[in-house]
Amino acid sequence: MKYRDLQIQTQREAPNNARTEGFSFLVRAGYLTRENVPTKLGEHALDHLRKLAKQHNESFFLLLSLSTIGNENEVFFPIASGSIEVAHCPSCKYTERLELARFAKPVGAEHAPPLPIEKVLTPDCDTIESLANFLGIPKEKTAKALMYTRVSDNKFIFVVVRGDMQLSEAKLKEHVGDVRAATAEEIVRAGAAAGYASAIGLKDALIVVDDLIPQSQNLVAGANETGYHLKNTNYGLDYSAEIVADLIQAKVGDACFNCGNPLSVISTNNLATRGEFIFENILLAIAETHHDEKGLTLPHPAAPFDVYLMHVPGKELDTRAKAEEIYSALQNANISVLFDDRDERAGVKFNDADLIGCPIRVTVGEKGLKEGKVEIKNRASTENQLVLLEEIIPFLKK
Ligand SMILES: [Zn+2]
């Protein structure tokens, strides 16, 4: 394809909204607009990736030399601007979206014999924080209540997690379906009291507890009466649940469920879900991985064009006509070429070639042509090689 047909617009300056170097170079090289919309060149690059993915489904990310993390369903690329947080174990490589990640929960206190329930006055203790402070106990000795209504049938859902843990709504939804926060009226109707709720004595509620709750004895929970809590509530004795499951959101440093090492939390973009590739994110990942200070340095299979062909306008010889001949010859040899057919100065074209990042640059200049040669340069190296016109294709194919 030709530079002018693709209407390539390169930029000298990084866009001021660039959050990563990869994005910045994709805009500067003319693959994306500042608004993150693919240009003609960008669409061409995406089409190239789509074809490559079809041919090499299994080894696709390896071919692109991308360093990814993932699990059997999803592939992620770590990137500062990424929109998806994942939990990742650097030791065993366990990777999962943060809201669904499993971890080894600290059981905490030793198994203790259950004590009798005791109702206590706890004024202005409608948060776990204020309750633990008021009673002088650690948060892990409290039971936290969260109340929802199921969207499909308006069922009241009462969730219990330990006071030191955070509920993952995504995990809850996996067990009960879509939910919304319960209204004040729905809470009262179920027999609970906001800020002072427990699962004991509720009406028509679906009770869902985290799997740590049955292992935690003598927790302080709400008395379902404003201003009061119950000491020594015990799962199995005082209440039970329809669903006992892992409901907790993992956080950085939690122990990996598989190997016990601390989990990292990483910002990522999703590159593939169940075999469906997300090519816009893949293009950004390629740019993020393969660039230097001058522009993109795309490796052979990832690059939309193998060769950046350019002529330097001459005084005596028609370098452009010779470049046109080479352009046709390369295409006939099945080498993909971007032909910079503008009558621009060499420096302008060299800069653009570096930005756009094709693996090889072929330069047709007057001085070389007089000896029947062109200059060939690898994007990654600083040295030119002079190659005879008739040797170009064998040289590129080797
Ligand atoms: Zn691990």
pLDDT reported for residue 108: 63
- Ligand 1 centroid distance, CA of 357 (Å): 38
Distance, in Å, from the CA atom of 355 to the CA atom of 349, rounded to the nearest integer, reads 10
Structure-token pair, residue 81: 């601007």
The sheet with strand 373-378 has its strands ordered as 337-340, 307-311, 360-364, 373-378, 384-388
- Ligand 1 centroid distance, CA of 154 (Å): 39
pLDDT reported for residue 106: 83
The one-letter amino acid code at 238 reads: D
pLDDT digits (tens, 9 = 90+) for 129-145: 999 999 999 999 999 99
For residue 388, what are the β-bridge partners?
373
Question: Does the pLDDT value for residue 81 go beyond 70?
Answer: yes
- Ligand 1 centroid distance, CA of 209 (Å): 26
Distance, in Å, from the CA atom of 42 to the CA atom of 50, rounded to the nearest integer, reads 12
- Ligand 1 centroid distance, CA of 214 (Å): 25
- Ligand 1 centroid distance, CA of 20 (Å): 29
User: What average pLDDT does the structure give for the chain?
Assistant: 95
- Ligand 1 centroid distance, CA of 94 (Å): 6
- Ligand 1 centroid distance, CA of 263 (Å): 7
Nearest to 322 by CA among 385, 392, 398: 392
Strand (E) or helix (H) holding 129: helix 128-135
Name residue, tokens 């209204």. 183
Distance, in Å, from the CA atom of 359 to the CA atom of 379, rounded to the nearest integer, reads 5
- Ligand 1 centroid distance, CA of 218 (Å): 32
pLDDT digits (tens, 9 = 90+) for 194-226: 999 999 999 999 999 999 999 999 999 999 999
- Ligand 1 centroid distance, CA of 255 (Å): 8
pTM for this predicted structure: 0.88
- Ligand 1 centroid distance, CA of 89 (Å): 5
pLDDT digits (tens, 9 = 90+) for 226-246: 999 999 999 999 999 999 999
Strand (E) or helix (H) holding 46: helix 40-55
- Ligand 1 centroid distance, CA of 95 (Å): 9
Phi/psi of residue 87, nearest 5 degrees: -90, 135
- Ligand 1 centroid distance, CA of 98 (Å): 14
Question: Does the pLDDT value for residue 107 go beyond 80?
Answer: no
pLDDT digits (tens, 9 = 90+) for 268-303: 999 999 989 999 999 999 999 999 999 999 998 999
User: DSSP characters for 133-177?
Assistant: HHHT--GGGBEEEEEEEETTT--EEEEEEETTS-B-HHHHHHHH-
- Ligand 1 centroid distance, CA of 90 (Å): 7
Q: State the CB neighbour count (10 A cutoff) for residue 234.
A: 20
Nearest to 1 by CA among 361, 360, 338, 336: 338
Angle at 84 between CA 83 and CA 90, to 5 degrees: 130
- Ligand 1 centroid distance, CA of 88 (Å): 8
Phi/psi of residue 168, nearest 5 degrees: -100, 110
Question: Does the pLDDT value for residue 115 go beyond 70?
Answer: yes
Name residue, tokens 């590739």. 277
Residue 387: C-alpha distances to residues 213, 216, 365, 384, 397 (Å) = 74, 77, 12, 9, 13
The proportion of the chain whose per-residue pLDDT surpasses 90, expressed as a percent, equals 92
The proportion of the chain whose per-residue pLDDT surpasses 70, expressed as a percent, equals 99
- Ligand 1 centroid distance, CA of 101 (Å): 12
- Ligand 1 centroid distance, CA of 91 (Å): 5
Asked whether the beta carbons of 270 and 74 are under 8 A apart, the reply is: yes
Residue 39: C-alpha distances to residues 19, 43, 218, 309, 339 (Å) = 19, 6, 63, 20, 17
Q: Say how many Å lie between the first and final Cα of the chain, rounded.
A: 23
- Ligand 1 centroid distance, CA of 260 (Å): 6
- Res. 162 pLDDT band, cuts 50 70 90: very high
pLDDT reported for residue 18: 83
pLDDT reported for residue 137: 96
- Ligand 1 centroid distance, CA of 226 (Å): 44
Name residue, tokens 């809590």. 229
pLDDT digits (tens, 9 = 90+) for 298-337: 998 999 999 999 999 999 999 999 999 999 999 999 999 9
- Please give the average per-residue pLDDT across 356-365, as a whole number: 97
